[in-house]
Structures are given as structure tokens and as C-alpha cells.
Structure 1
Amino acid sequence: MEPGPAATGIPLPRHARAGQQIKIEVVAMLGEDGSHLPRRQVWPDSLWDWTVDIPYWHGLRCHDMIFLGGQVSLDTQGHAVNPFDIRAQTAQAMVHIGSVLRELGAGYRDICKLTTMYAGPAGKSGLAENMSIRQAFFDAPGPATTDISLPVLAYPGMIIEIDAFAMADPE
């Protein structure tokens, strides 16, 4: 059914169960009376496009909850911008997050949780390289955050993807 939800796709090197090839996480919402809540999806013109035809959107708002698909540093043709430069790619992904939030009537202050996947070694140095860029978009203390180090991400030259969840006053 189009339009679909916001989505983030992460290439995992392996799953916990032998033979498992995919894992899907879903968040669904209904009104207190069980009715479907109105949803609004956005796809800002300035953002990158999927390289395959799929019904996912960059952002989705349902009542007071806002979900952003993983934001990356790709151009509108799906090519990495600033390949392998984690600082520049982090800044661009955060700018994309701001664009999606604005179209959904929210801002950085409304973000509750960021999940950042980056290609590279786990540890303090890898985390510090992109954390300082992300923190610059928030007043202290900023949202909760989870960082996940992976050997590779989905597109050549892309080394960071940031997924966000926000809450704002209902529209």
C-alpha cells in the first residue's frame, strides 16, 4: 500500500540465528478507540532518491510521533557525497534530518532518539568523529543516541546513516 512508512535499511554482516537473512522492526499506532490515525509522509525535493522503486518515504508523521528513515550523504542520484569523509557526511545527514523535520512541522529540538550507523572501527575514536558534528545541532544535553559500528553500509563511499524519532505537538 502506498505511501509506505519511513524506512532504514542496514546491511548486517550476520544475524544471531544461522540462516537468517532479514530482520524487520515495525512500529504501529492506533487511536485510543482503535481507529487509524491520520498519517502524513514527506519527501523534500532536496533529498536523495532511492536507486530502486520502493514505496518508502524519508519522513512520516502520525499524530505526535515522527519517524525519519535513515538519512545519509547521497545526492539526488544516489551517489555518495564526500565519499569516506565521516565529518562531512554526518553534517549532510543532519541537514537532511532538519529538512524532513521542517516539512513535518518539527525541528531538531523535537528529536527524542538518534540511531547512527557508521562504517569503521568501533570505539571511542570512531564515535568521537561523528558525535561532535551531531551534537552541534542540539542544545545540551541533546537526545538519546545509539551508535552502531558496521564493516560497510549500503552504497559505495557512504560511511554514515542516521535514523531519527521525534515527537511534537499533534497537528
Structure 2
Amino acid sequence: RGLDGQRLERQAYHSERWDWPLPLPYPAAIRCQDLVFLSAHLPMGPSGEVLSQQGLNEQTRTVMDNTGHTLAAFDLTLNHMVKQTSFFFGRADRNDIVTNQTLRSSFYSEPAGASTGVPMPALAMEDTMVTVDTIAMT
């Protein structure tokens, strides 16, 4: 809260980058004081379609591009990331985790923020291979 006791927040919505296939009341991101919390970003194109023809690495690139675009609404870049969690379709295999982590890390300058990769047997939207939550700091 601010000095006056009011919530200091600003929101950005996914519609600035893509349309969801169904209406949802959640913002793509919300800023509270110096922190910006991004909701799950998916490998979606401008019409809200999951880019299913892409493999894990290409979907991850799309997610990172969408994440960067959302951060730009707050005058931030991917280098402002302090924590990121990537949920990806894959086995609990070291190679899957390392491959995804290496790709996501390529979007940041060193030192990057904290990062966690979580392999999942399935994700919420059909054909989605990765979803990423991000926390950034101004």
C-alpha cells in the first residue's frame, strides 16, 4: 500500500497482445508498487490460438516474446525479471529441464533472476507445451 493507505496498482490485459478464446476477468499483469506480477503466459498468436504446430522450444520463444510485450506495458524488459516459473509438458527428465532453462535464460542478461522449471504431464490448454509465470521488479 502507498503512504495514503491506498493500493498502488496498475493492470495490463492480454487483449493488448492477443485475444483469449473465452473471456476471463484476470489481467495479464498487475503492478503493486515496485513489483509486477505476470499471470501465465502461453504460446498464443494474435487471434488467441495456441501455436500448436510449434515444438517446445518455439512455443517457449513465443511465450518469452509475449512476456516481453506485457512487461513493456510497464516500461520494463525481460531483464527486470526477478523470478520466473516455467511449467512445461515433458518428462521429469534432466535433459528436458536443462533444455528449457537454457532457452529461457537466453532472453536475459546476466545475472538473471531466479528461475524454476516444472515438468508437467499435461497443461490446461490443448496443444500447449509451456506456460510461464513471471515476477519483475522496477
After TM superposition, the score normalised by the length of structure 1 is: 0.73
CA distance in 1, matches of 2:94, 2:16: 33
CA distance in 2, matches of 1:87, 1:47: 20
Equivalent runs, 1:8-157 vs 2, <5 Å: 30-31=1-2, 35-43=5-13, 45=15, 47-83=17-53, 85-157=55-127
CA RMSD of aligned residues (A): 1.8
Aligned length: 138
Q: What are the Cα deviations for residues 31-77 of structure 1, in whole angstroms up to 9, with x where unaligned?
A: 356x1223111125563333222211111112211010111101234
Q: Percent identity?
A: 26
Structure 1: unaligned runs, 5 residues or longer: 1-29
Higher strand share goes to which structure? 2
Which residue matches 1:5?
none
After TM superposition, the score normalised by the length of structure 2 is: 0.89
Q: Which has the larger radius of gyration?
A: 1
Q: 2:132 is matched by which residue type in structure 1?
A: I
Q: 2:94 is matched by which residue type in structure 1?
A: K
Residues 156 and 83 of structure 1: CA distance in aligned 2, closer, same or farther (over 3 Å): farther
Q: Decide whether the 8 Å contact of 2:21 with 2:49 is kept in 1.
A: no
Q: Which residue, 159, 162, 165 being the options, matches 2:129?
A: 159
Higher helix share goes to which structure? 2
Q: Decide whether the 8 Å contact of 1:73 with 1:89 is kept in 2.
A: yes
Tell me by how many angstroms 1:108 deviates: 1.3
Structure 2: unaligned runs, 5 residues or longer: none
Structure 1 stretches of 4+ with a deviation exceeding 4 A read: none
CA distance in 2, matches of 1:94, 1:137: 8
